[in-house]
Amino acid sequence: MAVRISPSILSADFANLEAELGRISTADWAHVDVMDNHFVPNLTIGLPVVERLVQVSPVPVDVHLMIEQPDRWAPAFAEAGAASVTFHAEAVQAPVRLARELRRLGARAGVALRPATPFEPYVDLLAEVDMVLVMTVEPGFGGQPFLDGTLAKIRRVRAAVGAAGLDVWVQVDGGISAQTIERAADAGADTFVAGSAVYGAQDAAGRIAELRALAAAAHRHV
């Protein structure tokens, strides 16, 4: 099982985002959180900034939309060059139609679930998406502690992906650090969003390598 590390720029210095993206050039993705202060109680960046980040990022951009009306807004992020666009199951109106539109525009399509949102109603959506994002904290703010109660959901998602024989990534976002990544990997996650764990380190590249090694070791023990 491949390991992918996607540092979240939510923990970066917003006054120097191009340089901050350069710090994570050894990562697999750059995770960009878009929040509208409606779906979640926080406001971050919008489409024009994301479009510019795509142009300067040394790695593909993974956009996580924590917004209302993703059916209306998500395609524009794919058109702006995001390599992956994830919308929330709790906010989307027509998930199949939106996932197909994102793929048509050349982006990977992801569906995200809040910690309390059950996965089972979305099993039939697996064939339409490229990634399931299991939130391991309540969405909205960085730096929150990892919720161990989400591990069972990660296992259920991994089991469903395996049973369907699909190449769907299982991403986790929230509280991922050197202390928690092994538990998430052992449960079946393969794509890891880490914000403060990476950007809070003096050597971001070293921390990315450490996280990747810890997750890979956990996979070998599964």
Residues 26-85: pLDDT tens digits?
999 999 999 999 999 999 999 999 999 999 999 999 999 999 999 999 999 999 999 999
CA distance 51 to 67: 17
* Burial zone of 1 (CB within 10 Å; 0-12 exposed, 13-18 middle, 19+ buried): middle
Q: Is the pTM for the entire model greater than 0.85?
A: yes
Tally the domains of the chain. Answer: 1
In contact, 23 and 128? CB cutoff 8 Å: no
Cα angle, residue 114 at apex, residues 111 and 120 outer, rounded to 5°: 65
CATH number at residue 185: 3.20.20.70
- pLDDT, tens digit, 9 for 90 and up, residues 123-154: 999 999 999 999 999 987 777 899 999 999 99
Give the neighbor-by-neighbor strand order of the sheet with 4-7.
4-7, 191-194, 169-173, 131-135, 108-113, 84-88, 61-66, 30-35
Length of the chain: 222
Q: Tokens 């049973």 label which residue?
A: 163
Residue 44: what pLDDT? 93
Residue 31: what pLDDT? 98
Percent of the chain having pLDDT more than 90?
Answer: 94
Average pLDDT over residues 190-205: 97
* Enzyme catalytic residues: 33, 173
Question: What φ, ψ does residue 38 adopt, rounded to 5°?
Answer: -125, -55
- pLDDT, tens digit, 9 for 90 and up, residues 97-133: 999 999 999 999 999 999 999 999 999 999 999 999 9
Show the domain range for 206.
4-221
Residue 220: what pLDDT? 85
HEC string for 111-178 = EEECCCCCCHHHHHHHHHCCEEEEECCCCCCCCCCCCHHHHHHHHHHHHHHHHHCCCCEEEEECCCCC
What are the structure tokens assigned to 8, written together?
């979240």
- Distance of CA 19 to CAs 7, 23, 45, 162, Å? 14, 7, 17, 39
CA distance 28 to 60: 7
Which of the four pLDDT bands, split at 50, 70 and 90, describes residue 222? low
Q: Is 59 helix (H, G, I), strand (E, B) or coil?
A: coil
- The secondary structure of residue 106, as a DSSP letter, is T
In this structure, which amino acid lies at residue 205? A
What is the b/e burial string over 53-73, where b = at least 16 CB atoms within 10 angstroms of the residue's CB? bbeebebbbbbbbbbbebbeb
